[in-house]
A = this chain, B = another copy of it.
Amino acid sequence: MANPVDPSAKTAITPRRDEDFPEWYQQVIRAAELAEPSDVRGCMVIRPWGYGIWENMQRQLDSMFRATGHRNAYFPLFIPLSYFAKEAEHVEGFAKECAVVTHTRLEVDSDGKMKPASPLTEPLVIRPTSETIIGASYARWVQSYRDLPLLINQWANVVRWEMRPRLFLRTTEFLWQEGHTVHETEGEALAEAKLILDLYERFVRDHLAVPVFSGEKSESERFPGAVQTLSIEAMVQDRRAIQAGTSHFLGQNFARASGIQFQNREGRQEFGWTTSWGMTTRLIGTLVMMHGDDDGIILPPRIAPTQIVILPVATKEESRPRIMEACDSLALQLRGKYFADLPLEVEVDRRDLGGGVKNWEWIKKGVPVRIEIGPRDLEKNALVISRRDQPVKIKESMSIQEFVATAPEILNSIQQNLLERARGFREANTRKIDSKEEFYAFFTAKNSAKPEIHGGFALAHWNGSREIEEQIKNDLKVTIRVIPLEDSAEPGRCIFTGESSSRRVVWAKSY
């Protein structure tokens, strides 16, 4: 969102966001070297810059999981078909997306071609999610209430065959974390699902500068086999929703399917109460769509693999050694500073390329702060700073000493600025709507000069019926993103039927 669009300005990304948002998205990912499609349909290659963002997300989420008592483990990639089919809704929900291993070994066939050779007695599904395979282990591990709660997370790749892949947002293989927990009581499992929802909301807000609506999914949008699905939903710059994380209360459904039973405090056998929850590499796509501008991605400092890049400006050979020395010395000083409890991530770009080329590369990659040091700056013991949350033309001269002292504050200011912009944008594009006509107009008006009637999030009363949801989806491609939780009660009347409603729900088009 960020900088106001000046259509005459030269930008790094073609097309601009307002020309073709989906194409802009692809081009930003390419220009920032975040990822690229592979020759395997729907599978992407995550390049070092994109993977560095994922590693930072992992590190942060992982420490939040640990702090709440979770430990990591690893379960098999393959699920025997018979396991997978144990929970009826579950298998139905995922059947269309499964990739199946049917053979092992390759052999050269009679026509000289390499072919799969040995059929398996039971086909193996590549995990699209691991409830059923993890359940088999949990059934062995859980014997008594003393073994509960069982709080485990897994970092893994999963596969869901995608017909319409889109980098990060929908890929056949993606990376994620999946938490799987077992509890003694329904109440504890519900509390766990909510605790994780809150953790996810805090994580995306504080680290990704992404504000969200959180709440419960309607029945039709639930995870296959879940009793309750909680979700956080972000609004990106084309005003669509992205589901950024989900947390499921699974009741005793999967415990029954997998035989997770324990002896309770009264000495009776009982099925466990389970939850599962996940966040994926889709978050990287969310970041791009949330904070990118016409020059590329803008990375929140807390998640940027490099927070500050130092660009030596040494056009003349004789000044080169002094400039390099000053840049290295600055980097060293900065690395002794902390931001968000971690040492600053600083890189000196020593490559023998034109300054303009290098500068634009880093702009496209979204590094929060760029520093240039040339011979004249050095004479004054100064540097030139550019903030990625400000237009490219804005540069500020500053003494080296002052920059070293204030670098963490500057990063913090960028982090806060991105969050405030995102909040402002979301508020400007979220509207309480009280009639069906206004609702339809909100989601169909196009190219209006007023962005607030150009779609976005609609907060509207609904009678709770699946038929209404279906109709709205068919008419407008709009769905209920979340039903806010208890604290948002506000009695009213369904705008489609006039029936009574206890709260507004959040409607939007989504990815």
Contacts and interface: CB of A to CB of B under 8 A. Distances in A.
Interface of A: 36, 38-40, 43-48, 51-52, 54-55, 71-81, 83-85, 91, 95-107, 114-116, 123-126, 133, 136-137, 140, 146, 152, 156-157, 159, 161, 173, 175, 351-352
Contact of A74 (B51, B77, B84): B51
B43 A77 contact: yes
A175 B55 CA distance: 17
A100 B116 contact: yes
Given A39-B83, A133-B38, A95 B107 contact: yes
A427 B253 CA distance: 57
Contact of A101 (B99, B152, B157): B99
Contacts of A51: 71-74
A36 B134 CA distance: 12
Given A48-B72, A102-B103, A146-B351, 17 more contacts: A38-B136, A40-B76, A45-B76, A51-B71, A51-B73, A52-B71, A74-B175, A84-B106, A85-B114, A95-B106, A95-B107, A95-B114, A96-B105, A97-B104, A98-B116, A100-B101, A105-B161
A103 B101 CA distance: 7
Nearest to A81: B114
Nearest to A96: B105
Contact of A116 (B38, B71, B123): B123
A248 B439 CA distance: 63
A52 B157 CA distance: 19
B76 A173 contact: yes
Contact of A106 (B36, B91, B140, B156): B91
A304 to B, nearest CB: 14
Contact of A98 (B74, B75, B106): B106
B99 A72 contact: no
Contacts of A73: 45-48, 51
A116 B159 CA distance: 15
Given A73-B47, A74-B45, A75-B38, A106 B81 contact: yes
A76 B43 contact: yes
Contacts of A123: 103, 115-116
B116 A102 contact: yes
Contact of A78 (B40, B95, B133, B175): B40
A39 B81 contact: no
Q: Which 9 A-B pairs have the closest CB atoms?
A: A43-B76, A48-B71, A46-B74, A100-B116, A95-B106, A100-B103, A104-B161, A102-B102, A40-B78
